[in-house]
Amino acid sequence: MPKHIGILTSGGDCPGLNAAIRGIGKAAREIFHMDLVGFCDGFRGLVHDRTMALESEMLSGILTNGGTILGTSRDKPHEMEIGGEIRDMTGAVVETYQRNQLDALICIGGGGTQKNALRLKEAGLSVVTLPKTIDNDIARTDVSFGFDTALGIATEAIDRLHSTATSHKRIIVVETMGHRAGWLALGAGTAGGADVVLIPEIPYQLERVAEAIRDRARAGKRFSIVAVAEGAMSVDDAREVNEILAKKLAAKSRWEERKLSEQLDQFHERHLEHTVRLTQQLEKMTGQETRLTILGHLQRGGTPSAYDRMLATRLGTSCAELLNQGVSGVMIAVRGDGVEPVPLEEVAGKKKLVPPGHPWIQSARLVGTCFGD
């Protein structure tokens, strides 16, 4: 039975992190009599052994707070910048684990965290992860905490933007987060009554988007809301990316693979201004005044929703239970009303994308939402 447990939060901040820390801490300390230590600022804090005692008073009053009391970062143990050099610090992580006499390490994070945790498992550490991300794109779990709060924020933003859209007869383009998965744009766009929803999983044709807006104008509806995931791509952009990825997969040398990776990086750098160009193109093609709102990090902040507090608490307490049973090397996944441990090998490096025939897409199409395809 493990007695000494470490906890860290990694990746982007997310509503519900403190609720998860609290759920783990209260159950582990008060029910299973485990000692807890928090590592500050994600895996970098683990490398440098920067700790925070997680006593009862530290867990009090944090349930409703956004962010994370432990701090976070996007550092990877195997590729960490130290003194201006990129180094593999996995050995330092193992030393910290042993120095603190840990029996297990809990890593709370998104897709990158799952991959980092698997590497630590392969290095011999007992690791358990919890799925958090506003993108809702972690494989093998029904949902990740943080998504519900971000969905509510994005939906409220679209609700508010309807006012200026209708008053000025404008097209309002709203960019949500979602680099590879469109759950947030799809959910907020549908719930907010967006007329067009563009997501990475469905490459769009610009002319079809413009035509849908012109059809609305001809019907006397002189405003439109366009919800766009940051990773949404036109058909031409998607073709370019897929061609680079196919060449990279078939590359016969490290040099060729590196060159193709550089091409991919250059594409993504150009794509950062995608919604700016889209907004300009729609104004030109429709003749309607068009404005862009990028929600950005607004979606990450603030008080977590009741659902996310419940979900994070449930995942946290279940994590403590499973650790008490000696379970490790898994992510605690949501399955319906329950949870189940899923081997990290089945999660790391995978994405949960929106299926083309998902019920949310079907419902959106049936109320007349245009996806540009």
Spatial separation of the C-alpha atoms in residues 310 and 319, rounded to whole Å? 14
Helical packing angle, 206-218 and 274-286, nearest 10°: 40
Give φ, ψ of 80 to 5 degrees: -110, 135
Is residue 165 within 8 A of residue 223, CB to CB? The reply is yes
Handedness of CA 60, 65, 69, 70 (dihedral sign): positive
SS3 73: coil
In the chain, what is the straight-line distance between the N-terminal and C-terminal CA atoms, in Å?
54
342 Cβ partners below 8 Å, 6+ apart?
140, 141, 330, 331, 332, 333
Spatial separation of the C-alpha atoms in residues 39 and 109, rounded to whole Å? 14
Query: Is 265 considered catalytic here?
Result: no
Angle, CA of 31, 34 and 40, to the nearest 5°: 120
Spatial separation of the C-alpha atoms in residues 215 and 358, rounded to whole Å? 26
Tokens linked to 205 = 């044709």
Q: Which of 103, 34, 107, 116 is nearest to 72 (CA)?
A: 107
Is residue 248 within 8 A of residue 260, CB to CB? The reply is yes
DSSP secondary structure, 192-226, as one string? TT-SEEE-TTS-B-HHHHHHHHHHHHHTT---EEE
Q: Alpha carbon of 262 to those of 42, 49, 178, 373: distances in Å?
A: 28, 34, 22, 29
- Which amino acid is present at 58? M
**Residue among 41, 75, 103, 135 flagged as catalytic:** 135
SS3 313: helix
Residues classed as catalytic:
135
